[in-house]
Amino acid sequence: MAKYWIFLFAGILCEVLGTTGMRALVFSHPMSSQASATIGIVISYFCVSRAVEKIPMGLAYAIWSGLGTGGVSFLSFLLFGEAMPPLKIFGLLCVVVGMIVINLDKTARSDG
């Protein structure tokens, strides 16, 4: 089961890096930014598709999209100086709390 969680977190990492790379390279090398995003997203979808073989789809998607959104927001703040106002931080914290609640609901899981 651990390998499926590794696939999920690898998918999250690839999505965050691909999306962030798209922004980082957009001005200097437009084709590089498209390649970065495409490669990152393709690998991400592959990894997530492997993860959902054993992890429930709703749970995997909630974690993937939540951590992906948070990761891109945080890297955009650090690397590009994008705003991180209190309301945005609150929203990201709500996403994290939602993921925790979904993970706590053991009745929704299948051991399949």
pLDDT mean over 14-34: 76
pLDDT (tens digit per residue) in 81-105: 999 999 999 999 998 888 878 777 6
Q: So what's the pLDDT on residue 94? A: 92
Q: What is the model's pLDDT at position 29?
A: 64
**Cβ neighbours, 10 Å, residue 19:** 21
Q: What is the pTM of this model?
A: 0.81
Listed in sequence order, the residues at least 6 apart from 7 whose beta carbon sits closer than 8 Å to its beta carbon are 47, 48, 50, 51
* pLDDT given for residue 106 in this prediction: 62
Least confident of 30-34, 41-45, 46-50, 87-91: 30-34
* Model confidence band, residue 111 (pLDDT cutoffs 50, 70, 90): low
Please tell me the distance from the alpha carbon of residue 37 to that of residue 72, in angstroms, as a whole number: 13
* Phi, psi for 48 (deg, rounded to 5): -65, -35
Q: Which two tokens stand for residue 88?
A: 């945005």
- Hey, where are the domains in the chain? 2-108
